[in-house]
Amino acid sequence: MRDTYYITTPIYYVNDLPHIGHIYTTVMADIFARYHRMAGRDVRFLTGTDEHGQKIERAAATQGIRPIELADRVVARYHHLWEQLEISHDDFIRTTEPRHQRGVTEIIRRIQAKGDIYKGEYSGWYCAGCEAFFPETQLVEGRCPDQGHPVELLSEPSYFFRLSAYQEGLLEWYRDNPGCVEPRSRYNEVLRFVEGGLRDLSISRRSLSWGIPFPGDEDHVVYVWLDALTNYLSALGFGSADDTLFHRYWPAQLHLVGKDILRFHCVYWPAFLMSAGLPLPEKVFGHGWWMRDEAKMSKSLGNVVRPDHLLERFGPDALRYFLAREMAFGQDATFSDEAFLERYNADLANNLGNTTSRTLSMTHRYLEGRVPAPGGGGQVAAAAGQATAAYLGAMDRLEPHRALEAVWQLLAAINGFIQESQPWALAKAGARSQDHLEEVLGTSLEGLRIVTLMIAPFMPGVALRLESQLGVPEPRHELSRELAWDAGQRGRKLGENQPLFPRVDIKAYLEEVSMEAEKQQESKPAETPAKESTIGIDEFARIQLKVGTVREAEMIPKSKKLLRLMVDLGEDELRQVVAGIAERYDPEELLGRRIVIVANLEPARLMGVESRGMILAATDADGHPFILSPDGDVPPGSEVR
């Protein structure tokens, strides 16, 4: 029997449309799924949606629809998006499906039979945004520590899971399986967290109705994380009459998740499984975040990048490549159009596109499209040997960005070889150089065949098109056989030569995008009537401008621009404000300084720090900020009109 490889993505909440952060997890899982299929494993790749809980219930209520209607809409978007991105999942689970409810009921039955569930009273600070309770000690300025959402104190009867009983079991699991949580830094975090002690976990909610009824007590619904995590089992038929898939694929080889949900996967999930007497997953990998403007891309911060435009303009492969190459797997990275376009032009249009198109067109021109034998391959064969070994090692170590680096090294070697051997000069020299010409082109084409095979998990569409141009008949994508030098079929004819990645004029593209954004803005129905560029005095009066005195100022760690200020607004009010002025002002020189702030601005979080107001500053042509101060000794709290 072949090795099985069960890989999962988190299941996505349906209160939001997918953005680059969500796409990333699924694209990476798809790359590994495809890679392991090519390596000959029996792969099962699961993704899906997390549809229960307060967050969804509230989002649906604000749109005036039922939760399931909201879920259906968003699920349709996910299906469409996965199709556009050529995601090759074998199954898509929705937590509102009956098969999922059966799985959840079964796991709770087992946990109950083990004696790990008891009834108690839960009271805690609940963050509806994160669907999680936080102990008081973890709150940051009275808000949830993860996203800065407001929290509410809840108290209600609840069923509890004896998580505390699994502290030792978990520690043992981590110690005996050092690869069970990756990257290493996250493994250490999880270990430290569990060593700090575990409290029992509330696993039911009475305050909520949009969820799976708690078996045996239908006044409660199952806590959304126990519900959600069980998808990995229920999708395999666990708890259903036919559980063949469960026996074949469980335990999972890889749960791929973002680092924000690592704890749920590395602490709660294995504890539930241990209690239910089920084997534990082999590995949970917590990848980093896509950031924008120095903060995690997320709906609540309103800084998300939607994939639609990039996909429409550049197709799925360029986006997949960028996501896999730009982010060191496990670390954070910043998403920008500029970075995308630069990689597109340099790596795809230039290195990959030009190397293939020049080799193919020379073969068409000089050899009428006949693919010559590659011979021993010399330096290119050696580079291919090194690249394939590095590639396989990197993919197995979950370092896809390094795997791509290895492929691009081979491309560079092929390019260098062509440059050195000058096939165009050999062609000119006529018959006496014919053998040499054939060897050079044969060698280059063989190198490119191997490149194409290695990029197939990353850019499946492009790989197929390239293979047809290279004349590879019915590509099978079997790594162990096809990665070898000279494994290509003899006597092939090239297919038609088509450009794969037309170069982009970055400046023109960025202008086009910003004009489009402006147009969209203009075509939005005006929120203020008629005179667009003026506002009435009443409208201005709604803005509260106040004089304040800076009492404290400090840099916000890891930020180059942001300062945290405590501003005295009179009447004993000290207000925390975050200001992007650090490039021009040292914190010390601001102390005691009079400034003007917008005092009734909606609070926002910047780099995790709450800002309740905004400092007024003028900007010069280079964008440098100049703080505004009153021209005289006005007491803090004075109104500005």
Region 503-542 residues binding ligand MSP, contact defined as CB under 6 A: none
Number of helices (H) and strands (E), helices first, in the chain?
A: 23, 26
**Looking at the chain, how many residues does it have?**
641
Instruction: Report which of 389, 442, 384 is spatially closest to residue 409, judged by C-alpha positions.
Output: 384
Question: Segment 46-65, which members bind ligand MSP (CB under 6 A)?
Answer: 50
H/E stretch holding 119: strand 117-127
Nearer to ligand MSP, 229 or 550 (CB): 229
DSSP label of 143:
B
13 binds ligand MSP (CB under 6 A): yes
Which one among 181, 212, 297, 472 touches ligand MSP, defined by CB under 6 A?
Answer: 297
* Cβ closest to ligand MSP, residue 147 vs residue 443: 147
Task: Name residues contacting ligand MSP, limited to 226-265 (CB under 6 A).
Answer: 228-229, 231, 257-258, 260-261
Using CB under 6 A as the binding rule, whether residue 470 contacts ligand MSP is answered as no
Nearer CB in complex with ligand MSP: 48/377: 48
Contact window for ligand MSP (CB under 6 A) among 5-13, 270-278, 564-572, 611-619: 5-13
CB of 240 or CB of 300, closer to ligand MSP: 300
State the DSSP string of 23-38: HHHHHHHHHHHHHHHH
Shortest distance, CB of residue 146 to ligand MSP, whole angstroms?
A: 11
Work out how close the CB of 29 gets to ligand MSP at its nearest, in angstroms, rounded to a whole number. Answer: 10
329 is a site residue for ligand MSP (CB under 6 A): no
Residue nearest to ligand MSP (CB): 258
Q: Does 296 bind ligand MSP (CB under 6 A)?
A: yes
Q: Residue 223, interface with ligand MSP (CB under 6 A)?
A: no
Using CB under 6 A, which of 5, 6, 25, 32 touches ligand MSP? 25
For ligand MSP, the closer CB: 330 or 423: 330
Near ligand MSP by CB under 6 A, which window of 69-77, 172-180, 186-194, 295-303?
295-303
Q: How far is the CB of 304 from ligand MSP (least distance, A)?
A: 8
Q: CA separation (Å) from 501 to 320, 351, 464, 489, 589?
A: 14, 10, 14, 27, 52
Contact 198, 233 (CB under 8 A): no
Nearer to ligand MSP, 78 or 344 (CB): 78
Q: How far apart are CA 167 and CA 194, in angstroms?
A: 6
CB atoms within 10 A of CB 256: 25
- Look at the block and give the residue holding tokens 């180059």: 560
| Of 571, 565, 570, residue with least CA distance to 551 | 565
**Minimum distance from CB of 469 to ligand MSP (Å)?**
34
Find the shortest distance in angstroms from Cβ 16 to ligand MSP.
7
Identify which range of 9-17, 104-112, 495-503, 632-640 contacts ligand MSP by CB under 6 A: 9-17
Is 21 buried (19+), middle (13-18) or exposed (0-12) by CB count in 10 A? buried
Place of tokens 């009428």: 368
Give dist(CA 57, CA 70) in Å, integer: 9
Q: Fill in the amino acid letter for 152.
A: E
Nearer to ligand MSP, 301 or 616 (CB): 301
**Out of 5, 6, 21, 467, which residue is the one contacting ligand MSP (CB under 6 A)?**
21
Judged by beta carbon, residue 185 or residue 600, the one nearer ligand MSP is 185
CA-to-CA separations, 632 to 511, 594, 598, in angstroms, rounded: 44, 9, 19
Kindly state the tokens that stand for 470: 């290279």
Among 289, 314, 329, 366, binds ligand MSP (CB under 6 A): 289
Q: Return phi, psi of residue 181, to 5°.
A: -130, 130
Q: Measured from the CB atom, is 274 or 297 closer to ligand MSP?
A: 297
Number of residues that bind ligand MSP (CB under 6 A): 21
| Nearest distance from C-beta of residue 297 to ligand MSP, angstroms | 4
Give whichever of 229 and 581 is closer to ligand MSP, judged by the CB atom: 229
Choose the stretch contacting ligand MSP; rule: CB under 6 A; options: 6-14, 439-447, 465-473, 493-501: 6-14
Say if residues 281 and 419 touch (Cβ distance below 8 Å): no
Q: What would the two tokens of residue 230 be?
A: 């069980």
Q: Shortest approach of ligand MSP to residue 258 CB, angstroms?
A: 2
The first and second tokens of residue 354, run together, are 């030009």
Quick check: helix, strand or coil at residue 287?
strand
Cis peptide before 625 (omega within 30 of 0): no
Residue choice 5, 24, 125, 485 for contact with ligand MSP (CB under 6 A): 24
Cα angle: 324, vertex 328, 329; to 5 degrees: 75
**Which of 17-25, 30-38, 522-530, 612-620 is the region at the interface with ligand MSP (rule: CB under 6 A)?**
17-25
Give the residue from 204, 198, 199, 197 showing the smallest Cα distance to 119. 204
Smallest separation (angstroms) from ligand MSP to the CB of 235: 11
Alpha-carbon distance of 23 to 280, in angstroms, equals 26
**Nearest residue (CB) to ligand MSP, 159 versus 289:** 289
* Long-range pairs of 421-426 with CB within 8 A, sequence gap ≥ 24: 423/362, 423/366, 424/362
Q: Does 439 bind ligand MSP (CB under 6 A)?
A: no
Residue 492 in tokens: 């092939």
Q: Phi/psi class of residue 216: alpha, beta or left (left: φ > 0; alpha: ψ in -120 to 50)? A: left
Q: How far is the CB of 341 from ligand MSP (least distance, A)?
A: 20
- 298 binds ligand MSP, rule: CB under 6 A: yes
Q: Which of 535, 450, 441 is nearest to 485 (CA)?
A: 450
Beta strands at 254-258 and 290-292: parallel, antiparallel or unpaired:
unpaired
Q: Which of 5, 6, 7, 11 binds ligand MSP (CB under 6 A)?
A: 11
Identify the DSSP state of 266. I
Phi, psi for 288 (deg, rounded to 5): -80, -170
Give the residue with the Cβ less far from ligand MSP, 125 or 285.
285
290 binds ligand MSP (CB under 6 A): yes
Judged by CB, which is closer to ligand MSP: 22, or 561?
A: 22
CB nearer to ligand MSP: pick between 257 and 494: 257
Question: Which window, 11-19, 35-43, 83-91, 199-207, contacts ligand MSP (CB under 6 A)?
Answer: 11-19
DSSP 315-368: HHHHHHHHHHHHSPTTS-EE--HHHHHHHIIIIIIIIIIIHHHHHHHHHHHHHT
Shortest CB 134 distance to ligand MSP, Å: 16
Q: Is 12 in the site for ligand MSP (CB under 6 A)?
A: yes
Query: Which residues form the interface with ligand MSP (CB under 6 A)?
Result: 10-13, 21-22, 24-25, 50, 228-229, 231, 257-258, 260-261, 289-290, 296-298
